[in-house]
Amino acid sequence: MEAHATGLRRILVLAFCVTGIWSAYIYQGVLQETLSTKRFGPNGERFEHLAFLNLAQNVVCLIWSYIMIKIWSNGESGGAPWRSYWSAGITNTIGPAMGIEALKYISYPAQVLAKSSKMIPVMLMGTLVYGIRYTFPEYLCTFLVAGGVSTFALLKTSSKTISKLAHPNAPLGYGLCFLNLAFDGFTNATQDSLKARYPKTSAWTIMLGMNLWGTIYNMIYMFGWPRGSGFEAVHFCRQHPEAAWDIFLYCCCGAVGQNFIFLTISRFGSLANTTITTTRKFASIVISSLLSGNPLSTKQWGCVFMVFSGLSYQIYLKWQKLQRLQKKRKAL
């Protein structure tokens, strides 16, 4: 009876995490697309300073992580010093900025698909730099994802979608997305290295360190000189409070989403988190297509299913590997 109650609690917590991650990030995606395509005011002005979103989110997440540490840390010490995050802070500042900037040139569904191909640069770096050999199923996953993204990129985007973009330029948009992935790879590797060197480092400490340096770098970039784009972004928000409200909601969604991700990883592991975030990306494409009134073509939907088939197969392979490791541990 007790085991049944424990199992039920785990299911409810998992459902809570899924709802939190999906709600936060899907709504954040809608806001991101709105800010990149919407026209504000009687003159139909666009919010061109999309990099300002990164600074705003850094500040909100910095405050959020500081509050969480004060509430949950219990006076623990021994984590990575804040100075050690400076290099990852650079790539974590440039990478997301490129991802957001890409929305000027390609549609939101195209960006989601491109950023879903994170395994491609990871495998390339692993093979070329570290000499890692991958199995045939792993190469098959990569082929499905790369093929789906490439075909989607080559298919003609509807004129209605193109008219909503600030500066349509697909090659530049996809290029920015893949640079975003490359910088993300370095950021993740640095975070893993810090976690290995300082095992007592909590997720909130990592979040605090990353957003602290992100805030510093973005403040310098956006307000470091008299004609910095940050001043123009603030002026735009003063003229159009609706845009300022959307930016604030966007940042809150990011902070709440990170909170649920950390909860999922701590309770159910990274594999469960990968599964939830992967299915969320697919839902984001569906919802974006419905809300924007720009439905994807049959061929484009085929590309979407091709990409997510590869990602789902990758998750299944990870699950099999985890099962084998658990059996070995039990045997020992």
pLDDT at 271: 64
15 is a domain residue = no
Ranges of the chain whose pLDDT falls below 70: 1-7, 73-78, 122, 125-126, 129-130, 156-164, 166, 266, 269-271, 292-294, 332
- Give buried/exposed letters for 67-87 (b at 16+ CB in 10 A, else e): ebbeeeeeeeeebbeeebbee
* Among 92, 107, 82, residue whose Cα is nearest residue 162: 107
4 is a domain residue = no
Total domain count for the chain?
1
Q: The pTM is what?
A: 0.74
1 is a domain residue = no
pLDDT at 236: 92
pLDDT at 4: 57
Round to whole Å and give the CA distance between 32 and 51: 11
151 Cβ contact partners less than 8 Å away, ≥ 6 residues apart: 299, 302, 303, 306
The range of the structural domain enclosing residue 128 comes to: 28-325
* Among 215, 201, 258, residue whose Cα is nearest residue 92: 215
181 is a domain residue = yes
158 is a domain residue = yes
pLDDT at 36: 81
